[in-house]
Structure 1
Amino acid sequence: MTPRSALKFDLFSEASRKRKIDEGGDPLQVIAQHIDFTALAALVDAFTLRGDGRKGGRPAYPTEVMVRILVLKRLYNLSDEQMEYQLLDRMSYQRFCLLQDCMNVPDRNTIWRFGERIGVQGATALLQGVDAQLHRHGYIARGGQAIDATLVPAPRQRISKDEREQLNSGQKPDWSDTKRRYKDTDATHTKKHGKSYFGYKLSVSVDHKHGFIRGVVTGTASEHDGHHFDEVLDPHNTGKEVNADKAYPSAQRREMLRVLGFKDGMQRKAQAGKPLSDCQKRRNQRIAKKRAKVEHVFAGIRHMGGKFVRSIGQVRASTTMTLMAACYNLKRLASFLDRKVDAFYKAKPSKMQMRLKAA
């Protein structure tokens, strides 16, 4: 006599698994429910310039599908190859990208080409589109802002000293076309806390009230943190305090903030032979608690698969870092809206409670 098996086979097993995923909570469906991807796709359409298939060849995938794939790729920091595999393998990814009933999914080359067509302008348009949805739901920049920069590592390059000198003098090393495509000559080296880094730098401003990224500027790793302070400063924040760490303060910058009507909330740095007073130390501690909001953002980006770019060149790296910021805001907005819906249903009395109250 054969033992009984716990496995059950059913024609509707796929629908049953979908129902269990929904009951357990699919984070991707939370994003899909609250984010208007159709509006984001309309903004990106202006930068893709894809064919309609009239001249032959395979018709293009809908822009909304490709935008969802790009967002999903960035949320989990997946390569194009991994993105293709996961779209073929994972039910939750297929549902999020509207591909659950499709016989074919975009391959790695299609995903790569779409990202190339978008570029920095398309990524910026995506970030602005998410920002417009923030404002539409009432999440305007409030409570002041915190400004900071974070290092975004890139693949290290094996470039000899002579080749580096040639690049610094504006000459081109004797590389083949294939080798040149794999050499990132834009990324730079820097040291932080005694550790060496190679890559790029992402500067952001974050509002204190809601913790969304309100300004984004990209650069290389060797640039000083305060280099992009003026560009990333958000003039629309209803709060006037601007918080930053010890890398930012200067007499010129403090005067600029005063002229613009902002309150100086930058930490003070001790000078040689001139240590900080107790009052300045207490002030730095108060500011540190406020500017921690921007560190939470960098931690959130790191949890989205890590702060790392796999691309070659500053243009592609800037596109990737801008998409990081857009996806962080997008994910955070969906989380806020989902909690608001849950709070509404918890506060709303059930039909039985209404009957008991009426009785």
Structure 2
Amino acid sequence: MAAPLQLGFTDYEQTYAKKKTRRQRFLDEMEATVPWDPFLALISPVYHRPSAKGGRPPFPLEVMLRIHLLQQWFTLSDPLMEEMLIDTPCFRRFAGIDMVEDRIPDETTILNFRHLLEENRIAEQILETVNQSLREKGVMLKEGTILDATIINAPSSTKNKTGERDPEMHSVAKGNQWFFGMRCHIGVDAASGLVHSVVSTAANVHELNTAPDRVHGEERVIYGDSGHIGIEKREAFKDCEAEMRIAMKPGQRRVLPDTPEGRLLDLMEAAKAHVRAKVEHPFRIIKCQFGFRKVFYRSIRKNNLKLTMLFALANLWMVRERCPSTA
């Protein structure tokens, strides 16, 4: 862990203030919940070593990791992250930076660290590490999976350096509205509501196409909305022994007859919807709490790695009270 800091006057005031800000409370909770040692062990083998030729030494790995997580939680670009470290005492304290004695990483250093994580696909390893820890604690089970997807908007304007939109993004109609961007598909544990699989595609890719990549194969039951109707006919699920509990199309449910059989079918649909509602919680966290409402980068791969990291952090946020420390 980062060494205790020498506090300046502003830092001292905020540290010992009678009332903590909402941002400070959030950081305190995540400080106690993030499994720091396993995360550092994943990145350490690929992190830069001090050069034998001399030169400026690299920043401590834990400092850079903490800055990267701050970027994810507060949706900060590399330049804005540098400015926030200069302006915001609680960010410096969380990152372990002493304003008086330590250097503050500039935006290029923050960018290079992010690229390092992307090149080595560290986000996927972090999600697996978090989920393995939660399975060992009995929080995440393997008996059921909920499948769902959401559209992430991308800029549709061509007023940029290249004069064109991101070629990997695509337009799709949902209801009577058109969207341009990508689609994030996830698999969620039916018992806990925690995300175990993340797949990103262009917005026009159907949910059934990614379904095999979002199940782990040990489910007894699979839930899905009406977009997953026909999943049992797919080649990947022909030998699947899990029970498929797929929602009826909304139009069909609305015209169910007012008979004992019709009312029973409606109750069954309500029960399935009650379970499927858990899948909306991770989406709410990354979109409303972490602020990922639009794509951050060009290319689906880079955005998928960011989403994978966000869902790993969302899992930690959801279990912060049940598992105060996953280290």
TM-score range, shorter chain: 0.7 to 0.9
* Corresponding residue of 1:226: 208
* Corresponding residue of 1:93: 91
- Is 1:125 matched with 2:125? yes
Distance verdict in 2 for CA 1:251–1:42, change over 3 Å: closer
Q: Percent identity?
A: 24
Q: 2: CA distance between counterparts of 1:301 and 1:145?
A: 20
- CA-to-aligned-CA distance 1:178-226 (integer Å, 9 cap, x gap): 9449852211111212222222111111113222111111111111122
Q: 1: CA distance between counterparts of 2:10 and 2:74?
A: 28
TM-score normalised by the chain length of structure 1: 0.76
* Corresponding residue of 1:352: none
Distance verdict in 2 for CA 1:22–1:233, change over 3 Å: farther
Larger radius of gyration: 1
In the alignment, which of 315, 319, 322 is matched to residue 333 of structure 1? 319
Q: 1: CA distance between counterparts of 2:211 and 2:129?
A: 23
Q: 2: CA distance between counterparts of 1:21 and 1:182?
A: 52
Q: 1: CA distance between counterparts of 2:292 and 2:67?
A: 18
Aligned Cα root-mean-square deviation (Å): 3.1
- Is 1:205 matched with 2:203? no
Range with bigger deviation, 35-44 or 245-254: 245-254
Distance verdict in 2 for CA 1:51–1:246, change over 3 Å: same
Q: Extract unaligned runs of 5+ from structure 2.
A: 1-7
State the secondary structure of the residue aligned to 1:197.
strand
Residues 169 and 181 in structure 2, CA contact (< 8 A), matched pair in contact too: yes
Matched letter for residue 35 of structure 1:
V
Residues 147 and 242 in structure 1, CA contact (< 8 A), matched pair in contact too: yes
- Is 1:235 matched with 2:233? no
* Corresponding residue of 2:303: 317
Matched letter for residue 19 of structure 1:
Y
- Is 1:141 matched with 2:119? no
* Corresponding residue of 2:274: 289
Q: 1: CA distance between counterparts of 2:250 and 2:286?
A: 31
Q: Extract unaligned runs of 5+ from structure 1.
A: 1-10, 160-177, 341-359
Distance verdict in 2 for CA 1:271–1:103, change over 3 Å: closer
Q: CA deviation at 1:241?
A: 2.1
Q: CA deviation at 1:94?
A: 1.2
State the secondary structure of the residue aligned to 2:222.
strand
Distance verdict in 2 for CA 1:116–1:22, change over 3 Å: farther
* Corresponding residue of 2:82: 84
Q: 2: CA distance between counterparts of 1:61 and 1:339?
A: 26
Distance verdict in 2 for CA 1:339–1:307, change over 3 Å: same
- CA-to-aligned-CA distance 1:120-178 (integer Å, 9 cap, x gap): 6121112122223323433222562211011112222429xxxxxxxxxxxxxxxxxx9
State the secondary structure of the residue aligned to 2:17.
helix
Range with bigger deviation, 242-251 or 125-134: 125-134
Distance verdict in 2 for CA 1:18–1:206, change over 3 Å: same
Residues 140 and 194 in structure 2, CA contact (< 8 A), matched pair in contact too: no
